[in-house]
Protein backbone atom coordinates (compact mmCIF):
# COMPACT_ATOMS: atom_id res chain seq x y z
CA UNK A 1 0.00 0.00 0.00
CA UNK A 2 2.84 2.36 0.88
CA UNK A 3 4.52 1.47 -2.42
CA UNK A 4 1.33 2.34 -4.35
CA UNK A 5 1.00 5.69 -2.54
CA UNK A 6 4.67 6.47 -3.16
CA UNK A 7 4.29 5.57 -6.86
CA UNK A 8 1.22 7.85 -7.09
CA UNK A 9 3.07 10.77 -5.56
CA UNK A 10 5.99 10.34 -7.97
CA UNK A 11 3.64 10.03 -10.96
CA UNK A 12 1.74 13.22 -10.02
CA UNK A 13 5.01 15.06 -9.57
CA UNK A 14 6.22 13.99 -13.01
CA UNK A 15 2.93 15.08 -14.59
CA UNK A 16 3.15 18.51 -12.91
CA UNK A 17 6.75 18.89 -14.10
CA UNK A 18 5.74 17.96 -17.67
CA UNK A 19 2.90 20.48 -17.63
CA UNK A 20 5.28 23.20 -16.45
CA UNK A 21 7.68 22.33 -19.27
CA UNK A 22 4.84 22.44 -21.83
CA UNK A 23 3.80 25.85 -20.53
CA UNK A 24 7.38 27.09 -20.74
CA UNK A 25 7.58 25.92 -24.36
CA UNK A 26 4.36 27.72 -25.25
CA UNK A 27 5.66 30.93 -23.71
CA UNK A 28 8.92 30.58 -25.60
CA UNK A 29 7.30 30.10 -29.03
CA UNK A 30 4.51 32.66 -28.65
CA UNK A 31 5.89 35.61 -26.67
CA UNK A 32 3.46 38.20 -25.40
CA UNK A 33 3.60 41.48 -27.31
CA UNK A 34 4.11 44.32 -24.85
CA UNK A 35 2.75 47.67 -26.01
CA UNK A 36 5.07 50.61 -25.48
CA UNK A 37 4.96 54.34 -26.04
CA UNK A 38 6.87 55.53 -29.09
CA UNK A 39 7.28 59.24 -29.73
CA UNK A 40 8.04 61.09 -32.94
CA UNK A 41 11.84 61.49 -33.19
CA UNK A 42 13.10 65.07 -33.45
CA UNK A 43 13.58 66.33 -37.02
CA UNK A 44 11.79 63.24 -38.34
CA UNK A 45 10.43 63.39 -41.90
CA UNK A 46 7.51 60.96 -41.83
CA UNK A 47 6.18 58.92 -44.74
CA UNK A 48 2.68 58.74 -43.33
CA UNK A 49 0.77 57.50 -46.40
CA UNK A 50 1.02 55.63 -49.69
CA UNK A 51 3.05 57.76 -52.15
CA UNK A 52 4.29 60.03 -49.34
CA UNK A 53 1.97 63.05 -49.62
CA UNK A 54 -1.61 63.92 -50.56
CA UNK A 55 -0.60 64.77 -54.14
CA UNK A 56 0.84 61.21 -54.46
CA UNK A 57 4.09 62.70 -55.79
CA UNK A 58 6.32 59.80 -54.72
CA UNK A 59 9.09 62.29 -53.84
CA UNK A 60 10.88 61.66 -50.52
CA UNK A 61 11.69 64.49 -48.13
CA UNK A 62 14.93 62.90 -46.90
CA UNK A 63 17.93 61.58 -48.82
CA UNK A 64 18.86 57.93 -49.14
CA UNK A 65 22.42 56.86 -49.89
CA UNK A 66 23.31 56.36 -53.53
CA UNK A 67 25.48 53.43 -52.45
CA UNK A 68 24.13 49.90 -52.01
CA UNK A 69 21.65 49.79 -49.14
CA UNK A 70 22.27 47.23 -46.40
CA UNK A 71 19.74 45.43 -44.22
CA UNK A 72 19.27 46.96 -40.76
CA UNK A 73 16.53 44.57 -39.64
CA UNK A 74 13.54 42.59 -40.88
CA UNK A 75 10.38 41.33 -39.20
CA UNK A 76 8.04 38.61 -40.44
CA UNK A 77 4.25 38.50 -40.56
CA UNK A 78 2.39 35.21 -40.59
CA UNK A 79 1.64 35.38 -44.32
CA UNK A 80 2.19 37.25 -47.60
CA UNK A 81 2.40 41.04 -47.38
CA UNK A 82 0.65 42.99 -50.13
CA UNK A 83 0.58 46.41 -48.46
CA UNK A 84 3.21 49.11 -48.66
CA UNK A 85 4.42 50.39 -45.28
CA UNK A 86 3.84 53.84 -43.81
CA UNK A 87 6.26 55.38 -41.28
CA UNK A 88 5.74 58.06 -38.59
CA UNK A 89 6.11 58.64 -34.85
CA UNK A 90 8.95 56.11 -34.61
CA UNK A 91 6.67 53.33 -35.89
CA UNK A 92 6.15 51.41 -39.13
CA UNK A 93 2.64 50.18 -40.01
CA UNK A 94 1.53 47.55 -42.54
CA UNK A 95 -1.10 44.85 -43.05
CA UNK A 96 -0.80 41.27 -44.29
CA UNK A 97 -2.72 38.40 -45.86
CA UNK A 98 -3.03 36.86 -42.38
CA UNK A 99 -5.71 39.57 -41.78
CA UNK A 100 -3.52 41.24 -39.15
CA UNK A 101 -2.45 44.88 -39.10
CA UNK A 102 1.00 45.40 -37.54
CA UNK A 103 2.74 48.26 -35.72
CA UNK A 104 6.53 47.89 -35.53
CA UNK A 105 9.28 49.85 -33.75
CA UNK A 106 11.28 51.72 -36.39
CA UNK A 107 14.63 51.26 -34.61
CA UNK A 108 14.48 47.61 -33.56
CA UNK A 109 11.89 45.99 -35.83
CA UNK A 110 10.04 44.69 -32.76
CA UNK A 111 6.27 44.32 -33.04
CA UNK A 112 4.54 46.85 -30.77
CA UNK A 113 0.95 45.72 -31.33
CA UNK A 114 -1.26 43.72 -33.69
CA UNK A 115 -4.84 44.40 -34.74
CA UNK A 116 -6.93 41.54 -36.23
CA UNK A 117 -9.43 42.00 -39.06
CA UNK A 118 -11.54 39.45 -40.95
CA UNK A 119 -9.80 39.64 -44.32
CA UNK A 120 -6.59 40.04 -46.29
CA UNK A 121 -5.24 43.60 -45.89
CA UNK A 122 -4.13 45.27 -49.13
CA UNK A 123 -4.98 48.89 -48.33
CA UNK A 124 -1.91 50.93 -47.40
CA UNK A 125 -2.26 52.87 -44.14
CA UNK A 126 -2.51 56.59 -43.41
CA UNK A 127 -1.03 57.72 -40.06
CA UNK A 128 -2.08 60.81 -38.14
CA UNK A 129 -1.46 61.93 -34.56
CA UNK A 130 -4.27 59.88 -33.05
CA UNK A 131 -5.16 57.05 -35.42
CA UNK A 132 -4.04 54.82 -38.25
CA UNK A 133 -6.56 54.42 -41.10
CA UNK A 134 -6.79 51.47 -43.52
CA UNK A 135 -9.23 49.14 -45.25
CA UNK A 136 -9.49 45.36 -45.34
CA UNK A 137 -10.83 42.71 -47.70
CA UNK A 138 -13.55 42.13 -45.10
CA UNK A 139 -15.16 45.28 -46.57
CA UNK A 140 -14.51 47.34 -43.43
CA UNK A 141 -12.59 50.58 -43.15
CA UNK A 142 -10.81 50.92 -39.79
CA UNK A 143 -9.54 53.73 -37.58
CA UNK A 144 -7.20 52.22 -34.96
CA UNK A 145 -5.55 54.14 -32.14
CA UNK A 146 -1.94 54.66 -33.13
CA UNK A 147 -0.52 54.16 -29.65
CA UNK A 148 -2.64 51.32 -28.24
CA UNK A 149 -3.79 49.41 -31.31
CA UNK A 150 -7.39 49.57 -30.06
CA UNK A 151 -10.31 50.16 -32.41
CA UNK A 152 -11.48 53.79 -32.53
CA UNK A 153 -14.26 53.27 -35.10
CA UNK A 154 -15.09 51.24 -38.20
CA UNK A 155 -17.19 51.79 -41.33
CA UNK A 156 -18.61 48.91 -43.37
CA UNK A 157 -18.73 49.21 -47.18
CA UNK A 158 -20.31 46.83 -49.68
CA UNK A 159 -17.15 45.03 -50.86
CA UNK A 160 -13.41 44.64 -50.31
CA UNK A 161 -11.21 47.71 -49.82
CA UNK A 162 -7.86 47.87 -51.61
CA UNK A 163 -7.76 51.65 -52.09
CA UNK A 164 -5.45 53.48 -49.67
CA UNK A 165 -6.79 56.44 -47.69
CA UNK A 166 -5.87 60.10 -47.91
CA UNK A 167 -6.69 62.57 -45.15
CA UNK A 168 -7.15 66.33 -45.33
CA UNK A 169 -8.22 68.35 -42.30
CA UNK A 170 -10.92 66.25 -40.58
CA UNK A 171 -11.94 64.08 -43.52
CA UNK A 172 -10.61 60.69 -44.70
CA UNK A 173 -11.08 59.70 -48.36
CA UNK A 174 -10.94 56.22 -49.95
CA UNK A 175 -12.61 53.95 -52.51
CA UNK A 176 -14.14 50.48 -52.32
CA UNK A 177 -14.78 47.61 -54.69
CA UNK A 178 -18.48 48.41 -54.21
CA UNK A 179 -17.84 51.23 -56.73
CA UNK A 180 -18.22 54.03 -54.20
CA UNK A 181 -15.73 56.70 -53.24
CA UNK A 182 -16.21 57.75 -49.61
CA UNK A 183 -15.56 60.85 -47.52
CA UNK A 184 -15.83 60.13 -43.78
CA UNK A 185 -15.40 62.23 -40.67
CA UNK A 186 -12.04 61.01 -39.38
CA UNK A 187 -13.03 61.53 -35.74
CA UNK A 188 -16.10 59.26 -35.67
CA UNK A 189 -16.39 57.52 -39.06
CA UNK A 190 -19.67 59.17 -40.05
CA UNK A 191 -20.22 59.48 -43.79
CA UNK A 192 -20.05 63.03 -45.12
CA UNK A 193 -20.64 62.11 -48.75
CA UNK A 194 -20.06 59.32 -51.26
CA UNK A 195 -19.78 59.21 -55.05
CA UNK A 196 -20.88 56.20 -57.11
CA UNK A 197 -18.80 55.03 -60.09
CA UNK A 198 -19.54 52.23 -62.53
CA UNK A 199 -17.08 49.64 -61.21
CA UNK A 200 -14.61 48.78 -58.44
CA UNK A 201 -12.21 51.42 -57.12
CA UNK A 202 -8.66 50.19 -56.52
CA UNK A 203 -6.91 53.52 -57.16
CA UNK A 204 -5.90 55.73 -54.20
CA UNK A 205 -6.87 59.39 -54.25
CA UNK A 206 -4.69 62.45 -54.81
CA UNK A 207 -5.78 65.81 -53.40
CA UNK A 208 -5.00 69.28 -54.74
CA UNK A 209 -6.62 72.72 -55.03
CA UNK A 210 -9.92 71.80 -53.37
CA UNK A 211 -10.38 68.69 -55.49
CA UNK A 212 -9.88 64.94 -55.06
CA UNK A 213 -8.88 62.66 -57.96
CA UNK A 214 -9.03 58.87 -58.33
CA UNK A 215 -9.45 56.20 -60.99
CA UNK A 216 -12.07 53.48 -61.33
CA UNK A 217 -12.16 50.16 -63.13
CA UNK A 218 -15.05 51.65 -65.16
CA UNK A 219 -12.27 53.30 -67.29
CA UNK A 220 -12.73 56.83 -65.89
CA UNK A 221 -10.44 59.17 -63.99
CA UNK A 222 -12.68 61.26 -61.73
CA UNK A 223 -12.05 64.68 -60.22
CA UNK A 224 -14.56 65.74 -57.54
CA UNK A 225 -15.13 68.80 -55.40
CA UNK A 226 -13.55 67.83 -52.09
CA UNK A 227 -16.26 69.43 -49.95
CA UNK A 228 -19.41 68.28 -51.73
CA UNK A 229 -18.36 65.20 -53.72
CA UNK A 230 -19.86 66.70 -56.88
CA UNK A 231 -18.21 65.90 -60.22
CA UNK A 232 -15.84 68.53 -61.60
CA UNK A 233 -14.70 66.51 -64.64
CA UNK A 234 -13.99 62.95 -65.72
CA UNK A 235 -11.72 61.49 -68.39
CA UNK A 236 -12.36 58.20 -70.15
CA UNK A 237 -9.42 55.88 -70.85
CA UNK A 238 -9.65 52.60 -72.77
CA UNK A 239 -9.59 50.21 -69.79
CA UNK A 240 -9.71 50.09 -66.02
CA UNK A 241 -7.59 52.50 -63.98
CA UNK A 242 -5.92 50.83 -61.01
CA UNK A 243 -2.91 53.16 -60.94
CA UNK A 244 -3.16 55.98 -58.42
CA UNK A 245 -2.80 59.49 -59.88
CA UNK A 246 0.07 61.84 -59.08
CA UNK A 247 -0.44 65.61 -59.22
CA UNK A 248 2.53 67.87 -59.99
CA UNK A 249 2.85 71.43 -61.30
CA UNK A 250 -0.86 71.66 -62.08
CA UNK A 251 -0.98 68.39 -64.02
CA UNK A 252 -2.23 64.88 -63.21
CA UNK A 253 -0.46 61.67 -64.29
CA UNK A 254 -1.76 58.09 -64.13
CA UNK A 255 -1.35 54.66 -65.70
CA UNK A 256 -4.04 52.37 -67.06
CA UNK A 257 -4.76 48.74 -67.90
CA UNK A 258 -4.87 49.86 -71.57
CA UNK A 259 -1.03 49.91 -71.30
CA UNK A 260 -0.81 53.73 -71.41
CA UNK A 261 0.49 56.53 -69.18
CA UNK A 262 -1.66 59.66 -69.30
CA UNK A 263 -0.90 63.31 -68.55
CA UNK A 264 -3.75 65.81 -68.19
CA UNK A 265 -4.19 69.38 -67.07
CA UNK A 266 -5.64 69.08 -63.58
CA UNK A 267 -7.94 72.10 -63.93
CA UNK A 268 -9.52 71.09 -67.24
CA UNK A 269 -8.89 67.36 -67.82
CA UNK A 270 -7.33 68.09 -71.22
CA UNK A 271 -4.24 66.16 -72.38
CA UNK A 272 -0.89 67.98 -72.10
CA UNK A 273 1.02 65.47 -74.29
CA UNK A 274 0.40 64.86 -77.99
CA UNK A 275 -0.69 61.34 -77.07
CA UNK A 276 -0.51 58.98 -74.06
CA UNK A 277 2.73 57.02 -73.76
CA UNK A 278 2.13 53.41 -74.73
CA UNK A 279 3.81 50.38 -73.14
CA UNK A 280 3.11 46.75 -74.06
CA UNK A 281 1.23 45.67 -70.90
CA UNK A 282 -1.05 47.06 -68.15
CA UNK A 283 0.27 49.78 -65.83
CA UNK A 284 -0.76 49.37 -62.17
CA UNK A 285 2.34 51.17 -60.92
CA UNK A 286 1.53 54.69 -59.69
CA UNK A 287 3.90 57.31 -61.11
CA UNK A 288 6.44 59.40 -59.25
CA UNK A 289 6.92 62.86 -60.74
CA UNK A 290 9.82 65.29 -60.31
CA UNK A 291 10.73 68.41 -62.32
CA UNK A 292 12.23 66.35 -65.15
CA UNK A 293 10.56 62.95 -65.34
CA UNK A 294 7.52 60.77 -64.84
CA UNK A 295 8.72 57.42 -63.43
CA UNK A 296 6.69 54.19 -63.42
CA UNK A 297 6.81 50.46 -64.05
CA UNK A 298 4.71 48.27 -66.33
CA UNK A 299 3.64 44.65 -66.45
CA UNK A 300 5.89 44.42 -69.55
CA UNK A 301 8.83 44.05 -67.07
CA UNK A 302 10.16 47.52 -67.92
CA UNK A 303 10.64 50.62 -65.82
CA UNK A 304 10.28 53.95 -67.66
CA UNK A 305 11.34 57.58 -67.28
CA UNK A 306 9.41 59.99 -69.54
CA UNK A 307 10.02 63.66 -70.16
CA UNK A 308 7.47 65.33 -67.90
CA UNK A 309 6.56 68.01 -70.48
CA UNK A 310 6.40 65.94 -73.67
CA UNK A 311 5.82 62.32 -72.60
CA UNK A 312 8.77 61.20 -74.72
CA UNK A 313 10.82 58.35 -73.25
CA UNK A 314 14.22 59.39 -71.89
CA UNK A 315 15.25 55.91 -70.73
CA UNK A 316 14.00 52.50 -69.69
CA UNK A 317 15.31 49.65 -67.54
CA UNK A 318 14.29 46.00 -67.96
CA UNK A 319 13.75 43.68 -64.98
CA UNK A 320 13.00 39.95 -65.04
CA UNK A 321 9.32 40.11 -64.06
CA UNK A 322 6.25 42.39 -63.96
CA UNK A 323 6.48 45.68 -62.08
CA UNK A 324 3.47 46.44 -59.89
CA UNK A 325 5.45 48.48 -57.35
CA UNK A 326 5.22 52.28 -57.42
CA UNK A 327 8.53 54.20 -57.37
CA UNK A 328 9.97 56.67 -54.88
CA UNK A 329 12.56 59.34 -55.76
CA UNK A 330 15.29 60.46 -53.35
CA UNK A 331 18.75 62.01 -53.83
CA UNK A 332 18.86 61.30 -57.56
CA UNK A 333 17.82 57.68 -57.02
CA UNK A 334 14.51 56.17 -58.13
CA UNK A 335 13.61 53.12 -56.04
CA UNK A 336 11.03 50.46 -56.91
CA UNK A 337 10.34 46.75 -56.58
CA UNK A 338 9.78 43.99 -59.14
CA UNK A 339 8.15 40.59 -59.04
CA UNK A 340 11.64 39.22 -59.82
CA UNK A 341 12.19 39.52 -56.01
CA UNK A 342 14.40 42.62 -56.24
CA UNK A 343 14.25 46.17 -54.95
CA UNK A 344 16.12 48.40 -57.40
CA UNK A 345 17.87 51.76 -57.08
CA UNK A 346 18.47 53.48 -60.45
CA UNK A 347 20.08 56.80 -61.30
CA UNK A 348 17.26 59.21 -62.18
CA UNK A 349 19.23 60.92 -64.95
CA UNK A 350 20.52 57.86 -66.82
CA UNK A 351 18.54 54.81 -65.64
CA UNK A 352 21.79 53.05 -64.74
CA UNK A 353 21.49 50.58 -61.88
CA UNK A 354 23.15 51.82 -58.69
CA UNK A 355 22.19 48.83 -56.54
CA UNK A 356 19.61 46.13 -55.91
CA UNK A 357 18.48 44.21 -52.84
CA UNK A 358 17.11 40.68 -53.28
CA UNK A 359 14.23 39.45 -51.12
CA UNK A 360 13.02 35.85 -50.85
CA UNK A 361 9.86 36.46 -52.89
CA UNK A 362 8.19 39.13 -55.02
CA UNK A 363 8.57 42.82 -54.15
CA UNK A 364 5.07 43.62 -55.36
CA UNK A 365 4.68 46.57 -52.98
CA UNK A 366 6.09 50.09 -52.93
CA UNK A 367 8.95 51.45 -50.79
CA UNK A 368 8.62 54.11 -48.10
CA UNK A 369 11.48 56.44 -47.12
CA UNK A 370 11.90 58.05 -43.72
CA UNK A 371 15.05 59.61 -42.23
CA UNK A 372 17.26 58.10 -44.92
CA UNK A 373 15.95 54.57 -44.34
CA UNK A 374 14.09 52.48 -46.92
CA UNK A 375 11.16 50.33 -45.77
CA UNK A 376 9.66 47.74 -48.08
CA UNK A 377 7.56 44.59 -47.77
CA UNK A 378 7.52 41.39 -49.81
CA UNK A 379 5.34 38.40 -50.61
CA UNK A 380 7.85 36.47 -48.46
CA UNK A 381 6.03 37.97 -45.45
CA UNK A 382 8.84 40.27 -44.33
CA UNK A 383 9.05 43.99 -43.68
CA UNK A 384 12.62 45.05 -44.52
CA UNK A 385 14.47 48.11 -43.22
CA UNK A 386 17.49 49.13 -45.34
CA UNK A 387 20.02 51.92 -45.14
Dist CA 28 CA 128 (whole Å): 35
Give pTM, 2 decimals: 0.89
Q: Comparing C-alpha atoms, which of 175, 169, 78 is closest to residue 128?
A: 169
By residue count, the chain amounts to 387
Per-residue pLDDT of the chain (387 residues; tens, 9 = 90+): 333 333 343 333 433 333 333 333 222 233 344 455 555 444 457 999 999 999 999 999 999 999 988 999 999 999 999 999 999 999 999 999 999 999 999 999 999 999 999 999 999 999 999 999 999 999 999 999 999 999 999 999 999 999 999 999 999 999 999 999 999 999 999 999 999 999 999 999 999 999 999 999 999 999 999 999 999 999 999 999 999 999 999 999 999 999 999 999 999 999 999 999 999 999 999 999 999 999 999 999 999 999 999 999 999 999 999 999 999 999 999 999 999 999 999 999 999 999 999 999 999 999 999 999 999 999 999 999 999
CATH class for the region spanning 45-386: mainly beta
- CA torsion, points 161, 211, 192, 131, in degrees to nearest 10? 60
What local confidence, expressed as pLDDT, does residue 45 receive? 73
Cα Rg of the chain (Å, integer): 23
Dist CA 68 CA 303 (whole Å): 19
What local confidence, expressed as pLDDT, does residue 69 receive? 87
> Could you tell me whether strands 246-248 and 251-255 are parallel, antiparallel, or unpaired per DSSP bridges?
antiparallel
Residues 342-360 as b/e (b if ≥16 CB within 10 A, e otherwise) read bbbbbbbeebeebbbbebe
| Helix or strand holding residue 28 (H, E) | helix 2-29
Query: How would you list the strands of the sheet with 277-278, edge to edge?
Result: 246-248, 251-255, 260-265, 277-278
Dist CA 347 CA 67 (whole Å): 11
| Helix or strand holding residue 375 (H, E) | strand 373-377
What local confidence, expressed as pLDDT, does residue 29 receive? 31
Burial of 17 (0-12, 13-18, 19+ CB in 10 A): exposed
What local confidence, expressed as pLDDT, does residue 35 receive? 52
* Annotated domain spans of the chain: 45-386
pLDDT tens digit sequence for 269-291: 999 999 999 999 999 999 999 99
Dist CA 193 CA 190 (whole Å): 9
8 A C-beta contact, residue 305 and residue 348: yes
Backbone angles phi, psi at 15, to 5 degrees: -65, -40
Dist CA 252 CA 272 (whole Å): 10
Dist CA 96 CA 80 (whole Å): 6
- CA-based angle 155:157:163, to the nearest 5? 95
Could you tell me the end-to-end alpha-carbon distance of the chain, in angstroms, rounded to an integer?
72
Dist CA 165 CA 184 (whole Å): 11
Backbone angles phi, psi at 95, to 5 degrees: -115, 165
What local confidence, expressed as pLDDT, does residue 56 receive? 98
Percentage of the chain exceeding pLDDT 70: 89
Question: What are the percentages of helix, strand and coil residues in the chain, rounded to 5?
Answer: 5, 40, 50
pLDDT tens digit sequence for 134-143: 999 999 999 9
What local confidence, expressed as pLDDT, does residue 36 receive? 52
Largest CA distance in the chain: 101
Dist CA 325 CA 342 (whole Å): 11
Burial of 46 (0-12, 13-18, 19+ CB in 10 A): buried
Amino acid sequence: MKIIKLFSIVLIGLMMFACQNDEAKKTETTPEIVQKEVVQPENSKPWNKFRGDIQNSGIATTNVSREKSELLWKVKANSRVSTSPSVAYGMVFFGAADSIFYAVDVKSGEIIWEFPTEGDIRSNPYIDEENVFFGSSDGTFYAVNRKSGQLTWEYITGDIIMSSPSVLDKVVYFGSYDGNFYALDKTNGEKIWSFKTGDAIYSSAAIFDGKVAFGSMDHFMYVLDINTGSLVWKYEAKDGIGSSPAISNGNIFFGCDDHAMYALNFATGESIWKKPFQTSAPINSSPAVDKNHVYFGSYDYRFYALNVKTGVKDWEYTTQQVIHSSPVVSNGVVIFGSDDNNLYGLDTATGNKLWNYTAIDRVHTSPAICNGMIFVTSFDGHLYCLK
